[in-house]
């Protein structure tokens, strides 16, 4: 029995997230010991990571998370400073610090400002709500540009006392549109960044980061505002400086986002490159080529889920769209772009091309990393059903 050395412990390794693996070994007395390192770490850096970054970072978020958040931090800091300048201007305009100012007049101005903004928020959500998911990057950039424009109106409003109420109402309207567009697109980007069903954690840590940045902006504003309060030209110069920084950081932040799902612009770019060169653009390349301004649209415009009467107007046309085609969808070119006599010929040829190219196209999309199970295309709710039960998407 003296030669018995005890049970043989199999080799074992463990790893914390994407850290270095560490090995478990058995000591002579039978206890287990672990190599140093490989854990979550200690010290200030580890503490800041735990407080401000999602659990499991970087594996729990998309690869573009860190560059986006760094530029988003810069833009939030610049926006905090410009917001302080704009708030100071509005307070001066309603009479804060002016003994001759009327409290009731200031209250009415503030109520009109808030009421205009509320109406604008409802109207914008009604008109553009369905598009914010599809064009999250464009609308995020649009929201920040509009926010800067709104704050500029607040900065200059005190210089036009006769039109002060009108100007601040327009500014409030713009800021409420910013609130809808910015909040909705932030949610869409958070969904893209969360890779372990951890959207709530990613959103919460983003809020912590923004709170810290706003706190830093508040401290800087406390030092800056006393120096600028009596010098309008210097205040405008500081506003324009911070605005330029804000817009540049926003552009870099949005450009850093690499989405693997298709919206209309990314699909157009990938299809065009595939038809021309026979190869599929990778998500990073297509995202870098994607236009980021809302007025820039691809040459081809898609309408998905449209009513049947917008495609056909006679029994002959209805027979044309369904004859000899077994796919669960219908295609139709815009009548304004294609001569009516050639329309159905082009549609049939399009079906044949799609049947030939689509399997290869789909395979290459999946090979380079595109998400093919879901998309960000704007699809309406219209559907058509034939008597035999076959459904077609228009």
Give tens-digit pLDDT for 265-316. 999 999 999 999 999 999 999 999 999 886 655 556 778 888 888 878 778 7
Task: Identify which has the larger pLDDT, 162 or 339.
Answer: 162
Cβ atoms of residues 171 and 154 within 8 Å: yes
Of all residues in the chain, the percent with pLDDT exceeding 70 is 83
Tokens of 144: 């920040």
Token reading at 4: 């018995």
**Angle CA 135–73–219, to nearest 5:** 135
Closest CA to 344 of 320, 323, 368: 320
Asked whether 174 and 146 are in contact (CB, 8 A), the reply is yes
For residue 371, what are its two tokens?
A: 């998400």
Is-cis flag, bond preceding 16, omega within 30?
A: no
Residue 389, pLDDT > 50, answer no
Largest CA distance in the chain: 103
28 with 9: CB under 8 angstroms?
no
DSSP labels, 116-161: HHHHHHHHHHHHHGGGTTTTHHHHHHHHHHHHHHHHHHHHHGGG-G
Count of beta carbons in the 10 Å neighbourhood of residue 245 = 17
The per-residue pLDDT for range 24-70, each reduced to its tens digit, is 777 777 777 777 766 666 678 888 888 999 988 888 999 999 999 99
Task: Please give the average per-residue pLDDT across 3-7, as a whole number.
Answer: 54
Element (H, E) at 26: strand 22-26
pLDDT digits (tens, 9 = 90+) for 225-234: 888 877 778 8
Summarize pLDDT for 128-177 with one digit per residue, the tens.
Answer: 877 888 889 999 999 999 999 999 998 988 888 888 888 989 998 999 99
Task: Report the pLDDT value the prediction gives residue 205, as an integer from 0 to 100.
Answer: 93
pTM for the predicted model, two decimal places: 0.81
Q: What structural domains does the chain harbor?
A: 1-44 (no CATH), 62-256 (1.20.1250.20), 264-392 (no CATH)
Find all residues with CB under 8 Å of 306, minimum gap 6, and list them.
Answer: 380, 382, 394
């Amino acid at each position: 029995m003296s030669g018995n050395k005890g049970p043989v412990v199999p080799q074992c390794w463990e790893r914390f997230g994407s850290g270095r693996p560490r090995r478990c070994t058995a000591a002579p007395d039978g206890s287990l010991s672990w190599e140093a390192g490989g854990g979550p770490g200690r010290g200030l850096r580890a503490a800041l990571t735990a407080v401000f970054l999602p659990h499991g970072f970087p594996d729990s978020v998309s690869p573009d998370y860190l560059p986006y958040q760094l530029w988003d931090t810069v833009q939030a800091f610049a926006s905090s400073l410009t917001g302080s300048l704009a708030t100071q201007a509005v307070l001066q305009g309603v009479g804060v610090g002016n003994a001759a100012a009327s409290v009731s007049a200031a209250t009415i101005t503030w109520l009109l400002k808030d009421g205009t903004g509320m109406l604008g928020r409802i109207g914008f959500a009604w008109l553009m709500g369905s598009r914010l998911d599809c064009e999250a990057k464009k609308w995020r950039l649009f929201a920040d540009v509009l926010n800067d424009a709104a704050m500029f109106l607040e900065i200059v409003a005190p210089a036009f006392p006769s039109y002060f109420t009108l100007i601040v109402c327009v500014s409030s309207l713009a800021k409420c549109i910013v609130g809808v567009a910015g909040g909705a697109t932030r949610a869409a980007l958070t969904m893209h960044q969360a890779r372990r069903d951890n959207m709530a954690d990613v959103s919460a840590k983003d809020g912590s980061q923004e709170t810290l940045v706003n706190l830093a902006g508040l401290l800087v504003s406390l030092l800056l505002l006393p120096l600028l309060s009596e010098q309008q030209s210097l205040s405008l110069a500081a506003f324009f400086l911070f605005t330029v920084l804000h817009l540049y950081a926003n552009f870099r932040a949005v450009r850093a986002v690499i989405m693997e799902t298709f919206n209309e612009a990314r699909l157009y770019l990938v299809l065009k490159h595939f038809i021309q060169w026979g190869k599929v653009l990778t998500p990073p390349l297509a995202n870098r080529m994607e236009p980021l301004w809302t007025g820039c649209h691809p040459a081809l415009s898609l309408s998905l889920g449209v009513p049947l009467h917008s495609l056909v107007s006679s029994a002959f046309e209805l027979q044309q769209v369904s004859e000899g085609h077994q796919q669960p969808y219908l295609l139709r070119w815009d009548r304004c772009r294609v001569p009516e006599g050639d329309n159905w010929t082009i549609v049939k040829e399009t079906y044949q091309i799609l049947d030939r190219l689509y399997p290869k196209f789909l395979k290459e999309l999946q090979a380079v990393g595109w998400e093919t199970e879901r998309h960000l295309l704007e699809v309406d709710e219209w559907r058509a059903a034939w008597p035999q039960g076959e459904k077609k998407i228009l």
